[in-house]
Amino acid sequence: MCYMARHLLGLVLTLSGHKIMLTTIIYRSHLCDNVAVKSLEGMVASANLKNGMADVTGILLFNGTHFFQLLEGPEDQVKAIYRTICEDKRHYNVVELLCDYAPARRFGKVGMEIFDLREHDRDEVLQTILDKGTSRYQLTWNDRALQFFRTFVEATEKENYFEIPPADSWEFIPTGSARHADPQLAFKDADCGFAFQPIIDPLSQEIVSVEALVRTAGGGSPKEYFDRLSGDELYQADLDSKKVAFALAKDLGLSEQTLAINLLPMTLVNIPDASHKLLQMIEQNGLVPEQVIVEFTENEVISQFSAFTQSVRDLKASGISVSIDHFGAGYAGLQLLARFQPDRIKISQELIRDVHKSGPRQAIIQALIKCCASLEIAVSVVGVEKAEEWMWLESAGIFHFQGHLFAEPCFCGVPAVAWPEKKTAL
């Protein structure tokens, strides 16, 4: 069956009553140094056949270093081919730029065609690409997919292509061992415990701060701890628990360390004199307010905004700094920054997960970094689990990290940190 007939069929085909969605994926990647450009011809020929059989069409641009490919076709087939492409060892740093749906194919003539930008005059390239279009309506640059072509051909985003090395070029080996608090002290009169997790600057091998994360007295999750509390009991318990956090911090030898604690914004509002009580706890444990960061989560803050800003005034006046935790996981992050500027934001794990593979996440994080730099707000990220995530974020200009890649929270103790060590070539 010829391509056009196959595509028409693809568009109207229904499978178990579901219309097959015409899906577009665009990615860019980097050719591996050890791959000869000549060898790409064979790869393209077999890809063309495979795409044809899967009813997938598209176009591949190559500029001598980077690939840029658009794949179009039924969703399952496009995604299956994209998964194999991501695993291909001939290229690396594969970043998905767009995954979208369209009414018609843009490049429906061939399974896959390669277009070497070095063989064409730059001014003609974009017109030539447009001429290859098979859309029923003439291709226009209003189309997001085509805008990505223009950006690639004109290389306007090139400074944002971070060429991160493979994950296994680093080793993460814990240095030293965890320190634990005296169990007698940890549980004395307490109905809760704390796990500590460092926020680190991996390349300068520095612990920037240590966060105290609430647990039940037996080490159970924060949810377990909070589920047992109700109404105002919740806020009183939230405040009182910080006594345990500071006492543990003192026993763990964190007196010289910046210490992050979490507070519900309504604790400061509902408990009379809460800031003053917090200051007393800090002093009783030989700590100073300037070394304490109070972290609030975005959702809680925005729903009670004016009460929140009122209570923060007292904290700031005493020398305590303020951070917004899990930034980007809530629903009003940017609006929040317009109305209130904390000393630090901690970007949510939801936003940084697999950031090295995702164009949208990269764009959002770069914009956040730029925004926070203009406002002199420090930026750190939480929930870093993969070496590639860390490398991409370092390249983007983030230097403070918290996550299992470096150290898991340690109950009533401070974990050893696995600092990254570059593997030396044998």
Ligand X SMILES: Cc1cc2nc3c(=O)[nH]c(=O)nc-3n(C[C@H](O)[C@H](O)[C@H](O)COP(=O)(O)O)c2cc1C
Residues binding ligand X (CB under 6 A): 29, 43, 46-47, 50-51, 58, 60, 67, 69, 71, 81, 84-85, 88, 90-91, 112
Q: How far is the CB of 350 from ligand X (least distance, A)?
A: 29
Here the tokens at position 32 are 């591996």
Q: Is 137 helix (H, G, I), strand (E, B) or coil?
A: coil
Query: Rounded to the nearest whole angstrom, what is the least distance from the CB of residue 378 to ligand X in the complex?
Result: 39
Shortest approach of ligand X to residue 94 CB, angstroms?
8
- Please give the Cα distance from 140 to 136 (Å, whole number): 11
Q: Which is nearer to ligand X, 153 or 398 (CB)?
A: 153
The set of residues, in sequence order, having a beta carbon less than 8 Å from that of 295 and lying 6+ positions away, is 211, 260, 261, 262, 263, 322, 323, 324, 325, 346
Nearer of residues 66 and 361 to ligand X, judged by Cβ: 66
**Shorter beta-carbon distance to ligand X: residue 43 or 269:** 43
Q: Closer CB to ligand X, residue 129 or residue 312?
A: 129
> DSSP letter string over 406-420?
T---EETEEPPEEEE
What's the min distance (Å) between Cβ of 89 and ligand X? 9
CB of 23 to ligand X, least distance (A): 14
Q: Which two tokens stand for residue 89?
A: 């060892």
270: which 2 tokens? 């509902």
Least Å distance between CB 116 and ligand X? 12
Q: Which is nearer to ligand X, 90 or 250 (CB)?
A: 90
Residue (74 or 403) nearer to ligand X, CB: 74
> How many residues are present in the chain?
426
DSSP string, 27-87: EEEEE-TTS-GGGHHHHHHHHHHHHHHTT-EEEEEE-SSEEEEEEEEEHHHHHHHHHHHHH
Gap between the Cα atoms of 307 and 330, Å rounded:
19
